[in-house]
Amino acid sequence: MIDTVGGTGLRRKDFLSVLDLSADGLVRLLDVASRLKSERARSVRGPASTALAGRHVATCFQKPSLRTRSTFEIAVRELGGDVLQVPPESFDGAREPLADVARNLERWVHALILRTFAQDKAAAVAAVAARLHVVNALTDEEHPCQALADFLTLRERWGGWQGRALAYVGDGNNVAASLTHAAALLGVSIRLATPEGYELPARVIATARTASDNADIRCTHDPEEAVSGAHAVYTDVWASMGQEAEADRRRRAFRPYQVNRELMQRAAPGALFMHCLPAHRDEEVTAEVLESAASVVFDQAENRLHTQKALLLMLLT
Ligand code: CP
Ligand code: NVA
């Protein structure tokens, strides 16, 4: 295992991947998030409410967002900081090089919350601006902030990780990658069922196994095998943002991977249903399952706020 910077739990100044956290760092982040959540519910204004006083955080979203954008803006404000929205075209390289944009921003703001296409682009921005903390707010390859909220939600419902198994059914995409990274760090068994040609990249599995001795990752093409006995079943859209042109082809390939009542019945009694949202009802999940008592999708959405506040505290204070 790689050491973290000054015992902060973070391996670098940025959060581009769940694997930028150590296992202990991830647990600590979830602990802080739980505390912040409880304080917010009781309207307690603890020391965190001024932690970012006098600091600016920029956001730049090159793809649509409801949850990530809203929760980061609220998070910064509730920590006493200021938010600056940078226009999405600033990072398309047309008006000026990306490296210049990054080196301007680092003179004014402490962090940049960036949603973009290639992970390499977020990494390039982070590499060129030594003083800027760059947070991955979703790339084509990873969605690490989502996984933080997902595992806070699981911990609230499960009480702990011991003996727990999570099934992911659908596209081996950005959400699946970050979920796999977090499961590996926390020692939660994860079973992924994807159609042929849509598997989780081998690189994701390899990096997860390198980062954690407790990684238990199993991949299959059979959704029933993945879900059998699982304590939570997770799915995501079949065509991610940027893949709209492939939607019809994907709809055909993914049809046997719909999470419906029959599939949920294969899971352990009391199994949870999870989705990062937005969801396409009666595509990757039936409306019945999405609206069922098993569904914790709005807990996940709420926990985006608390976990991102904890992340900002870890990065900036
Ligand atoms: N789950 C998620 O990241 O939602 P948004 O795309 O709305 O931010
Ligand atoms: N995989 C989806 C997640 C949306 C939050 C996408 O990238 O569009």
Which atom of ligand 1 has the smallest separation from the CA of 66? Answer: 7
Task: Decide the pairing of beta strands 165-169 and 189-193.
Answer: parallel
Measured by CA distance, the residue closest to atom 1 of ligand 2 is 240
Q: How many CA atoms lie within 13 A of 150 on its CB side?
A: 31
pLDDT at position 1 over 50: no
Grouping H, G, I as helix, E, B as strand and the rest as coil, residue 110 is coil
Cα–Cα distance, 211 to 309 (Å, whole number): 24
Residue 2 — pLDDT band, cuts 50, 70, 90?
very low
Residue 78's SS3 state is helix
Percent of the chain with pLDDT over 90: 96
Unique residue bearing structure tokens 């939600």: 153
4-8, 86-90, 170-174, 185-189: range with lowest mean pLDDT: 4-8
Which residue from 67, 243, 308 has its CB within 8 A of the most atoms of ligand 1, so it is best to mutate?
Answer: 67
* 7 — pLDDT class (breaks 50, 70, 90): low
Q: Could you give the C-alpha distances from 195 to 219, 223, 230, in angstroms and in order?
A: 11, 9, 19
Query: From ligand 2's centre to the CA of 306, what distance in Å?
Result: 20
Q: For 13-52, how does the pLDDT look when each residue is reduced to its tens digit (9 = 90+)?
A: 999 999 999 999 999 999 999 999 999 999 999 999 999 9
In the three-class reduction of DSSP (H, G, I as helix; E, B as strand; rest coil), residue 101 is classed as helix
Q: Is 218 a catalytic residue?
A: no
pLDDT band at 215 (very low <50, low <70, confident <90, very high): very high
In the reported structure, the alpha carbon of residue 278 is separated from the centroid of ligand 1 by a whole-number distance in angstroms of 7
255 annotated active-site? no
**What is the predicted pLDDT for the residue at 98?**
95
Band (pLDDT 50/70/90 cuts) for residue 189 is very high
Q: Are 216 and 192 in contact (CB under 8 A)?
A: no
Q: What are the φ/ψ torsions at residue 41 (nearest 5 degrees)?
A: -65, -30
> What is the CA(6)–ligand 1 centre distance, in A?
32
HSE, side-chain direction, 13 A CA sphere, residue 220 = 15
Residue with tokens 């949920």: 264
Q: Does 5 have pLDDT greater than 60?
A: no
Looking from the CA of residue 277, the nearest atom of ligand 2 is 5
Name the catalytic one among 20, 150, 171, 236. Answer: 236
pLDDT in tens, 139-163: 999 999 999 999 999 999 999 999 9
Mutate to test the pocket of ligand 2, among 62, 63, 115, 241 (most ligand atoms within 8 A of CB): 241
Confidence of residue 8 (pLDDT cuts 50, 70, 90): confident
Nearest CA to ligand 1 atom 4: 67
Print the SS3 string covering 219-237.
EECCHHHHHCCCCEEEECC
Report pLDDT for 6: 53
In the chain, the N- to C-terminal Cα span, in Å, equals 24
| Residue 308 is among the residues annotated as catalytic for this protein | no
Q: In this predicted model, what pLDDT tens digit does every residue of 260-270 receive, in sequence order? A: 999 999 999 99
Count of CB atoms situated within 10 Å of the CB of 159: 9
Domains of the chain: residue spans and CATH: 18-142+302-316 (3.40.50.1370), 146-300 (3.40.50.1370)
Among 11, 67, 164, 304, the active-site one is 304
Find where tokens 């009694």 sit: 269
In the chain, count H helices and then E strands.
Answer: 12, 9
Which of 66, 136, 139 for a ligand 1 pocket mutation test, highest count of atoms within 8 Å of Cβ?
Answer: 66
